[in-house]
Structure 1
Amino acid sequence: MGMRVRAMGALRDLIRSLQKEAHPKPANPQSLPSLRRAFSLYDQINLIDNVPSDQLRFQRYTDTGFTVNGVDYEGSLLCVGNMLMSWAPNKFSQITTDSLSIFRTVRPVPEILILGCGRYIEPVSPELQRFIRSTGMKLEAIDTKNAVSTYNILNEEGRIVAAALLPYGMSS
C-alpha cells in the first residue's frame, strides 16, 4: 500500500512539472500567443513556426507599431489577405470611407474587415458602416490587441480577411 501511495505522489509531481513546462509565463505581456499548439507528455510542438512565407502572421504589437513575420513596422497597417501596406490614419477619427477606398476595387472581396481601433473600441459611424456593407464585407471593430489575434486566426484558416489596424497606443 505504501509503495502505491509513493507512486501516486511521484505521478502527481510529474504531471505538475509537465504542466509548468507546457504553460510558461509569457516574458512580454504584449506578445501574441501561438494559435496552433500541440502538447504531449514529452515535448511541446509549435506548428505556427512553419507558417508559409507568403502568409502574414502578427507576432507582436506595440504602442506605435507591429511585428509581422519577423519584421517591425511603425504606424498603422492595412492588410488584405496576405498583402500588407502602410495606412495613413494615425487616430480613429481619421478613418473614413476615403481611407478605406481600396475596398471598392479589391477582388476577391474579403469576408470581413477587422478594424483595430487602438487601445479602446470606438463606435463606428453609420456612414462608414454603410460603406463597408456596400463592399460586401462584414465589419468587426475591436481593440487592436484582439484585432491582430482575430486576423491571425482567420488568415490561418484560409479565409479571405482584411484588417485596418491602428497601433495599440493610438485612439480617438
Structure 2
Amino acid sequence: MNAQAQPKQTPSTYVAAATAEEARKLADELMDVMSALLGVIERETELVRAGQLHQAMAFGNQKSELSRRYVTTVGNLKASQKFMSRSAPDLLKTLHRHHDTFRAMLQVNLTVLATAHAVSENVVRGVNAEMQRRNIPNTYTAQGRRTAPGPRHTTPLSVSRSL
C-alpha cells in the first residue's frame, strides 16, 4: 500500500457572516478600519512631504495595528462573499467602490514614500561621490590619461539608518 501523505488543511481563522446583521457589521468594520487607516496614512504623507520623517515614523505602531485589523476584516469578508452576494449584493458593490477609492489613496502614499526614498538615495550617492572624488589622487599616466583609482584609494561610506 502506498500511503501518501495528505496535506493537512488548516481551519480558516476567518469568520463568515451568516446573517444580514453580521454582514452589515462586517461592512461597517471594514469602512471604519479603512477610514482610520486612511487618516493615519494621510497624516504620515503630509509629514513626509514636509520632510518631517521622524514625526512620520511615529505612526508605525498605529499603522501596524490598523493594518492587522484590515487584513482580518478583509479575510472575514472573503469568507462571507457567497452569503453576501446572495443576501446583500448592493452592500457588496458599495464596499467594492469604497475599497477602490481606498487603494487609490494608498497609491498616492506609496508614490510619496517612493519619491522620498529616491531623493534620499540620490543625496547619499552624491555625498559618497564627493567624498570619493576628494580622496582619489589626481594623477596621469604616461599616455596623458587620468589614472583609475585602486581599491585602496576608495573610502567606505557609513550611514546610520536610525533617525
TM-score (norm: length of structure 2): 0.23
TM-score scaled by structure 1? 0.22
Larger strand share, 1 or 2? 1
| Greater Rg over alpha carbons, structure | 2
Higher percent of residues as helix: 2
